[in-house]
Structure 1
Amino acid sequence: MNHGWRPAPDGRDSALAAEAEGYLLAHTHREQAHREAEDLCARLPWLTTAQADDVAHHYIRQRNHLTRLLFQESLRRAAELRQEYESRYAVLRRDLLRRHAAFASALLACAAGASAVVGLYAR
């Protein structure tokens, strides 16, 4: 008897994992923006502390905005691709089922024909 962890049947675990991954990814991007802002301000030694703080603040805000736009565009494109793939899969599945039905019908017709021929020769 296994009393270990099992995933929830309703997919809550995968949703929680995706949310945690998103949080960690966003956190990583924010940290990267802070590092980039610090590097930028370090290359501008004539800025006062207040000016450097202001530049860093604006840089981080703009960088986070651009990252958010990139993520949103990626999500939009992923949804678009998913719809395209699902549509294509439905067409392929329908064609495959149609071919299987045609093959099964032909096989049944051949079997019926062979049975009729055997029946005629058996008399």
Structure 2
Amino acid sequence: MYQDQEQDREQNHGQAINEIEGFLLWEAEKDRARTRAEAFCAGLPWLTDSQRREVELRYCQDQRDASRAYLERISVRSATLRTEYEGVYRALRRRLITALLSGSVAVAALLAMTAVGLTAR
């Protein structure tokens, strides 16, 4: 029971770390979009201040939308690969266990035959 609680605690810590990391990565992405928007607007010196703010806002929103769509595609692909790899891992594990058991049976049979052969003399 204590081990189960410890595993749950470790899983919760891992989940919390993943959430914090995701939050920090998203904030960095938003900062990057803001920096790119400012650089984009710097190349348009004829914009008024209100136009500049509007362009920066729209640029940032477009960048965030593109980033979110990209991250969602990555997430779906990661889940697909994880499912696929888990299936392959299970199949390999079954093969390994089957081979190990078959080898053990073969060794046991060989030892039994050797023992019978030695006692028959």
TM-score with structure 2 setting the length: 0.90
In structure 2, the residue corresponding to 1:45 is in which secondary structure?
A: coil
Normalized per residue, the structure richer in helix is 2
State which structure, 1 or 2, has the greater radius of gyration over its C-alpha atoms: 1
2:105 corresponding residue in structure 1 = 105
2:19 corresponding residue in structure 1 = 19
1:68 corresponding residue in structure 2 = 68
* Cα separation, 2, equivalents of 1:16 and 1:104: 44
The count of aligned residue pairs is 114
Q: Per-residue deviation at 1:9?
A: 3.0
Aligned amino acid, residue 105 of structure 2: S
Identity of aligned residues (%): 31
Task: Give the alignment's Cα RMSD to 1 decimal.
Answer: 1.0
* Cα separation, 2, equivalents of 1:41 and 1:98: 65
Structure 2: gaps spanning 5 or more residues: 1-5
Q: Deviations 1:64-119 (Å, cap 9, x if unpaired)?
A: 00111111111111111111111111111111111111111111111111111111
Structure 1: gaps spanning 5 or more residues: 1-7
TM-score with structure 1 setting the length: 0.88
Aligned amino acid, residue 97 of structure 1: I
